[in-house]
Structure 1
Amino acid sequence: MATFSTLDLNLLRVFDAVMEERSVLRASQKVCLSQSAVSHSLARLREMLDDELFVRTATGMQPTARAQAMAPLVRDALKSLEAAIEPPKFSPATSDKKFTIAANDFTTMVVGARLLALLRSDAPQVDITIKPVTRIDLAEQLDLGRIDAAIGTFSNVPSRFYSSFLFEYDDVLITHSSQKLGPVTPSVLARLPIIVVSFGGEQEGAVDGFISERGLARRSEMYDRMAFERALADSETLPRIAMSLPHFLALPAFLEGAGLGAIVPRPLADTFAKTYPIAVHELPYTTTRMEVRLLWHERNEGDMSQKWLHELLRRATEQLRISSVK
């Protein structure tokens, strides 16, 4: 008498094929075995179960009562094993999966509208939650699987994380459009009170504009401070950082009528200028081009839904990549 621990699961594949085809020949073609191999497998299974299972008739192989009772259970078991072993499929058009992404307000503002349009078109039932990358322990959240992916500028990326390039940018100066600066020279810039954005200060462990958490360093100082200070080092007037904000979205309100300027990423300046009375100026020095990358945990490699999410975010940032090389 057979027990499950001694059963060759390939015999169940043969049984299922014969049950469906009612023919040893057709069953052998389905499971890519010879007819003799199928017949041998049936003989082994008959002996193990002490039942004929199939009776040869003029209309084909007819199942016994035992085979009829076994068939749906065997079919379900084989399907479950197949689902467990083969990579899970993902259909964005019908999926209602929820993804969680970490991003700052800069990347959310320049990527969000395009991302939403792609979701409506390709995956109308998929939902995305965006968490503020600046208010969480990003490495811990990725390690725990609470975040599917993060968008930002990173350095010292540990080997357990993978990353992919999205776009790059440099810095520009923005002012209220009513403010007449003329050509922005170092001396003009030195006299202009400046607003910058920093997602963390020295008290939070920032080094050279990056905060490190569990081996992962993310950019916190959102302007090229070293280039700014070098360019204005010889100015008669010392440069003044009049205000440091923890986010970007309040900048247009602070610029109105205040006689201030702000140093921001170029893609954000272009986005602001489409909505607010903002003038965009080239800085009188060259800033480091910063890479914005997609970051995810190694455990997500091979997951079809995660691969789809990564490709979706690359598509959402495609125009930013094109603009950055002009």
Structure 2
Amino acid sequence: MELEELYRRDLSLLVALQVLIEERSVTQAAKRLHLSQSATSRILSRLRTMLGDPLFTRVGSSLLPTNFALNCQQRLQAPIAELSQLLTPRQFDPAQCRQTFCIAVTDFGSQSLMPTILERLYSQAPGLNLEVTPVQHQELKDQLGSKGVDLAICRSPGESAPLKSKELGQVGVRAVMAPDHPLANQPLTLSNYQQYPQAVVAISDGVKALLDDAMTSLPERRTLLRSSSLCHALVLLKHQPLLLTLPSGMAEQAAANHNLVVKPLPFSLPRIDYHLFWHSRTDLDPAQQWLRDEITSATAAILNGKLA
């Protein structure tokens, strides 16, 4: 039978048939179906017409199913059970999760956010699988649409429909130095900031461009290193009185892990808004909702420039 013909049949009658066979009584079946006895009798009549079989014969006060009805019952058990499961409100148990999720992140997200995100996710869902891939800002809709990426953590690419989004926080920029640096115990001013060699960890969201734009009118600084890797810059701190410029959040983490000093920059710099993006196709999925909530909670402290 073609789907179009199947669509024209009232398949809910088959559920009523299951109930009638189980109860062997129109009266009891009517109670389970929350119908009147006469309405249930009409359903039985429609079933007989649709299936071309009497389905039941009356034996005393009970209905005795025909062989055809019993065969229908056996064949309907599996599909009705599957439909019942399909229509049951979906719940998600992280502890039982075995799904694979793909998250796209920037350089900053990979180095600063993902360690905290991973710790939070796997503490609750040790059986999940994660794939982490670079964000492609110009192809974000395709990444989240047809390329299998579930979530992206990045700045806004502009017009993003049909993507959904949630603001996670803002990324600023901080100066980091060794505890024995000459400026470690005094305020950082524009004058003394420019006296010392620099290193910039330039994330893909544009820290380098922000710094260059903010200081175009100032004398040129001596920049020893520009890199997307924090490890490269940390090596130089051992050999130079270096001022390391890092995105906030990454700066606080580096300070905590390597005994460094963090100071605000002595000039204004635009902040970068970070968002969580996902496709509308996954908006109502319970597992995806859990994943989004956990990432939001995990990144809140970092994107406010603090450590939890």
Q: Deviations over 1:158-214 (max 9, x none)?
A: 2122110112232110122232224321111122222223356xxxxxxxxxxxxxx
TM (norm. structure 2) is: 0.84
Matched-pair contact (CA < 8 Å) for 1:189–1:239: no
Which residue matches 1:195? 199
Match of 1:318 among 274, 281, 300: 300
Tell me the TM-score normalised to structure 1 length: 0.80
Structure 1 match to 2:279: 297
One-letter code aligned to 2:190: P
Farther off after superposition, 133-142 or 300-309? 133-142
**Match for residue 38 of structure 2?**
36
Query: Structure 2: which 5+ residue stretches go unaligned?
Result: none
Residues 227 and 285, structure 1, Cα contact 8 Å, conserved in 2: no
Match of 1:10 in 2: 12
Which residue of 2 is the match for residue 205 of structure 1?
Answer: none
Tell me the percent identity: 27
Q: Which residue of structure 1 lines up, in the alignment, with residue 241 of structure 2?
A: 259
Aligned to 2:211: 225
Deviations 1:118-152 (A, max 9, x none): 33343221122211336995443223232110112
Equivalent residue number for residue 186 of structure 1: 190
Distance 1:52 1:270 in 2: 77
- Helix, strand or coil for the counterpart of 1:317? helix
Pairing 1:308–2:294 present: no
SS in 1 for 2:167: strand
Asked whether the 8 Å contact 1:106–1:248 carries over to 2, the reply is: no
Amino acid at match of 2:197: P
Could you tell me which of 138, 160, 163 is aligned with 2:162? 160
Matched pairs, number: 301
CA-atom RMSD in angstroms: 3.0
Aligned to 1:214: none
SS at match of 1:154: coil
Which residue of 91, 94, 99 maps to 2:93? 91
Query: Deviation digits for residues 58-113 of structure 1, max 9, x if unmatched?
Result: 57433222111111322323344455667755332212001010113433444334
Greater mean deviation of Cα atoms: 167-176 or 74-83: 74-83
CA distance in 2: counterparts of 1:278 and 1:166, whole angstroms: 26
8 Å CA contact 2:21, 2:65 repeated in 1: yes
Q: Which residue identity lines up with residue 191 of structure 2 in the other structure?
A: S
| CA distance in 2: counterparts of 1:323 and 1:22, whole angstroms | 68
